[in-house]
Amino acid sequence: MKRILLALFLFTLATLVAACDLLPSDQPAQPPPGGAASATTPSQPNPASVPQSACRSRVWGKVTNATTGQAPANVIVEIAGGALNGKTTTDANGLYGFDGLCAGDYTLTLTPPNGKPQPGPKTTIDGTKQVKVDLSFK
């Protein structure tokens, strides 16, 4: 009898955990390692309309000051493409990153501390691979 109850409890627990993973979350995604933030926003396409395998790309890189060669913290990096707009700041090593991106064309913009926004490069991602895009500002 104890084995049946234990099996029933474990089955119920596994079912609840699986169901929770399928529910949308109102909480913002936790930043990936390196201090960067996820680009998931409410304006992102409905996950049901986009194949899961097409939204696994990561854009990341290092931001440096072209004059000093330093990689400062707190540089704002923005990414925009399709219905997605995301924003993060660089960590103490000048690193940034955006996870969970769908296939498409994206534009990066950076704003140094006490500076004006500077357009960065445009990049095309396939929705499954990592793309390293280093940025610099003057």
Q: Taken in order 14, 45, 133, 126, is the CA torsion positive or negative?
A: positive
More confident residue, 30 or 101: 101
Q: Is residue 99 predicted with pLDDT exceeding 70? A: yes
CB burial of residue 50 (10 Å; 0-12, 13-18, 19+): middle
Quick one: fold of 28-137? Immunoglobulin-like (2.60.40)
Count CB neighbours of 131 within 10 A. Answer: 16
What does the pLDDT look like over 17-48, one tens digit per residue? 454 443 333 333 333 444 444 444 333 444 44
> What local confidence, expressed as pLDDT, does residue 48 receive?
46
pLDDT above 90: residue 83: no
* pLDDT tens-digit map of 110-135: 999 889 999 999 999 999 999 999 99
The answer for residues whose C-beta is within 8 angstroms of residue 81's C-beta and 6 or more apart is: 101, 104, 105, 106, 107
Please say whether the beta carbons of 123 and 105 come within 8 A: yes
Listed by start position, the domains of the chain span 28-137
% of the chain residues with pLDDT over 70: 62
What whole-number distance in Å separates Cα of residue 82 and Cα of residue 102?
Answer: 10
pTM for the whole structure = 0.63
pLDDT, the chain, mean? 76
Give residue 133's pLDDT.
97
pLDDT score, position 73: 96
Residue bearing the bigger pLDDT, 40 or 65:
65
Alpha carbon distance 55, 76 (integer Å): 23
